[in-house]
Each structure stands twice: as structure tokens, then as C-alpha cells.
Amino acid sequence: PQGIGSPSVYHAVIVIFLEFFAWGLLTAPTLVVLHETFPKHTFLMNGLIQGVKGLLSFLSAPLIGALSDVWGRKSFLLLTVFFTCAPIPLMKISPWWYFAVISVSGVFAVTFSVVFAYVADITQEHERSMAYGLVSATFAASLVTSPAIGAYLGRVYGDSLVVVLATAIALLDICFILVAVPESLPEKMRPASWGAPISWEQADPFASLKKVGQDSIVLLICITVFLSYLPEAGQYSSFFLYLRQIMGFSSESVAAFIAVLGILSIIAQTIVLSLLMRSIGNKNTILLGLGFQILQLAWYGFGSEPWMMWAAGAVAAMSSITFPAVSALVSRTADADQQGVVQGMITGIRGLCNGLGPALYGFIFYIFHVELNELPMPESPSGGSVATQYHLQQNSIIPGPPFLFGACSVLLALLVALFIPEHTNLNVRSSNWKKHCGSHGHPHSPQAPGEAKEPLLQDTNV
């Protein structure tokens, strides 16, 4: 087979690291270009761009996964990385085309789905959790360092060099896939011809969501995930722009904020989460995480000083334990043959939130007229920019309305989560799902007796 060596998790790790390292370099330049391109409705346009991308990714991810089962993983790794990184060189060529291509690239910007399928092909069931954790940790590590490097290079040498460097790293990733990554799906696993039929249930993005109402406990869990992840998805899309344009953070401060938050989140999701799960139980860990998320969003909403953002960021790291705890609860309570069904529902809801959240946040920013008519000015003697001080005088009561809305949404999630029992057996039966699992299973990854199935797309750390 083409590639260097036999397929391994390290091939997937390098692909993920290079892709997101390239995008991390552009964190600071993207915020500046976004405001220069849309000076009047910056937050609204940012929400629409990220919302369209998220919805397209949600709709296309199952289909691309189904096609990769037929045509192999390597070709789709190449396709997803190419289209995900295609907008990068357009930043300096044409900002309008840059943001337009970002929106449309959502159709193919599903590298994680293909990478997790690649990992599933080459690992045994008992190895898969550790392999997924390694991929997710690599994603976090790439974003811990790259924004700071990009901000420094942009300040010293200009943004053009940063764009060129990011483009070069993206090309290196594509060349690595072409030359070094071997195909993970054996020839015997693929149909004889390319015209082989594809299971449309597998390609239907709403297939997993249709099963939500079949069990009351599953319904409570899914409502909790939706209400808590919707504001989280919106926050990720707009928060760094908010720090830069409204709170007056410099590019270096935004990069440092991302790095500190990433490191604290990794600690929270490993050491702290493990201690909490053993000491207070699964359900109470979920409730604690939701409580931290409410505090964090309220702090972001009412905070008017930079130090408040840093303090709320530390709380945000603790709130990142919620989703891993939810996934663990589902893994414990669902039957072995129902793991994929329930985890698929949760993954589908998170994908839907990735589209709805950014658009919702952008719309709320627009309603409350939270925007600037000029780029942040040099810092005044009292710290913080003149434009920022003017903005805070105009909106001193609620500087960040969407974050306050998010806190209310998570409060509802907390109330719903109170009704989730600590120990129960989920029962979500679907003959079509079982039929699909049987026809698309991987005989080269046998399941040990009594061993629970590991969901293919359990993106806990992501």
C-alpha cells in the first residue's frame, strides 16, 4: 500500500496537528481582517459565516463518513484537509472570497470524522479510547501554541508572513497525506465497484436525532446537551473577537488567553474530572460542570474589565468537564449494543449546535448593537483602548448580552439534568441501526467478550 509504514494512530495525529496549527497561526490576523471587511456588523457576519459552516458540516459529515467506507479513508483525508485549508491563502488575496470560501468549506470541513474512522480501522476496541484521547489532546496542543506564535510573527514581521507560513504548513499537511499516510481500510472491506449502494440511513444527518424520543432518559440527556452546548458553540465562534474588539485585548493577550485556557481545560478534563467522578459520582459531576458554566457565562456577560475575563476563563476550564461526564454517563448506562446509537444522538446534537450557536450569538450581538465603528485605538494611560472605554460607557449594564442569554440556557439545562437518574438502563432499539451496524462492521477489529462498544465519533476532549 502507498504510504510510509503500516497505518498507525501517529499518522492521524500528525494530520490533525498540522491542520489546526496552520489555522491557529491565523487567530489574530483573522480577527483584524474580519473587522476590516465587515466594520458595521462584525459580530452578525461572524455568526452567519460560522453558522453556515457549522450547518453544512453537520449535514455532510455522515455522507462523507459513508463514502469513506466505500472509497477508503486516505482519499477523504486528502479531500477534507484540502478544503478546510483552502481559504487560508485567500486572506491576503481577497478577504471577501476568504470568508465566502470558509462558509462553503463546511461541506468538507469534517476532518475529525474521517480521522476517527481511520483510527477505528487500525485499533482494537480496548485501545480506541486511548487513541481518540491522543488525537483530541493533539488538537488541543496545536491551539495552545500556534495563536501566540502567529501573534508574535504578525507584530514583528506583518500578517502577510503569517498567512504564507500557514499556507506552507497546510501544503505540508497535504503532501504528508499524499506521501506518508497509508490507507487504513483494507481492500477486502470495500465493495467490488464504486457504484455500490450506500446506506442512506447512515448518510442521513437527522437519522440519530429521530431516535431521541424513544427513551425518556435519553431525551433528558439530549435536552441537557442541547441547552448547554448551544451557548458553548456560539461562544467559541465569537469570544476571541469579543476580547479583541470590545474588551481591548491585544493580539498577544488573546493568544495568551487561548494558551492558558487550553492548558487549564486539559488539566480539568483529565485529573480533576477523574477525581470528581470517583468522589461525587457521575451525575453530580455533570451538575457541577453546568454550575461552573453558568457562572462563567454570567461573568462574561457582566464583566467589563480585562481581569474579569481572565478570572472567568479559569472558571470556563472547569466547565469543560460537563461533556466528558455526560459521555461517561451514557457509556455506563447504555447497553453494549446501544453505545453507538446514543453516542450518535449526542454527536448529532452537538453538530447541530455548531451551526445554530454562532448564528444565534451573532444575531443577539446585532440586536443589542454591540459593535464598534473603528478598530481599537492605542491603549490609554488607564489601560484598555479609548474605543473600548467609549463602548463600555454606552453599554455599561450588560457588555455581553449573548453570554447572559447563554447562562439562562445552561440554567435550564441544569434543571433538566436534575431529573436524570444516576443509574439506569437506556433502551433505544432500532432494527435498522443494528442492520446497518452488521453490514458496515469491521471484522478486523473483533470485540472481546463482555467488552462495551466504543462509539466511533465520541469526541470527548474536543
Asked if residue 278 is part of any domain, the answer here is yes
More confident residue, 414 or 357: 414
The 10s digit of each residue's pLDDT in 202-231 is 667 777 677 777 778 888 888 998 999 889
pLDDT value at position 415? 94
Whether residue 330 is found in the same domain as residue 252? yes
Measured at the CA of 77, the angle between CA 194 and CA 110, to 5 degrees, comes to 105
What is the domain count for the chain? 2
Asked if residue 197 is part of any domain, the answer here is no
Whether residue 363 is found in the same domain as residue 249? yes
Whether residue 178 is found in the same domain as residue 290? no
Whether residue 153 is found in the same domain as residue 217? no
Asked if residue 67 is part of any domain, the answer here is yes
Whether residue 173 is found in the same domain as residue 218? no
Asked if residue 445 is part of any domain, the answer here is no
Asked if residue 450 is part of any domain, the answer here is no
Whether residue 100 is found in the same domain as residue 140? yes
The 10s digit of each residue's pLDDT in 254-309 is 888 888 888 888 788 778 887 888 888 888 888 999 999 999 998 888 877 888 88
Whether residue 34 is found in the same domain as residue 81? yes
Taking alpha carbons only, the member of 124, 104, 22, 23 closest to residue 59 is 104
* Range of the structural domain that residue 279 is part of: 209-371+400-421
Asked if residue 434 is part of any domain, the answer here is no
Answer whether 0.75 is exceeded by the pTM. Answer: no
Whether residue 276 is found in the same domain as residue 353? yes
Asked if residue 379 is part of any domain, the answer here is no
pLDDT value at position 438? 40
Q: What's the chain's average pLDDT?
A: 76
Whether residue 51 is found in the same domain as residue 140? yes
Taking alpha carbons only, the member of 274, 195, 224, 194 closest to residue 409 is 224
In degrees and rounded to multiples of 5, residue 319 shows phi and psi of -70, -15
Whether residue 151 is found in the same domain as residue 84? yes
Whether residue 162 is found in the same domain as residue 281? no
The residue assigned the cell 444575531 is 363
- The residue from 122, 150, 184 where one domain ends is 184
Question: In CATH, what number is assigned to the domain containing residue 155?
Answer: 1.20.1250.20
Whether residue 230 is found in the same domain as residue 82? no
More confident residue, 80 or 2: 80
| Contact of 41 with 366, CB cutoff 8 Å | yes
In this prediction, what percent of the chain has a pLDDT beyond 70?
A: 75
Asked if residue 319 is part of any domain, the answer here is yes
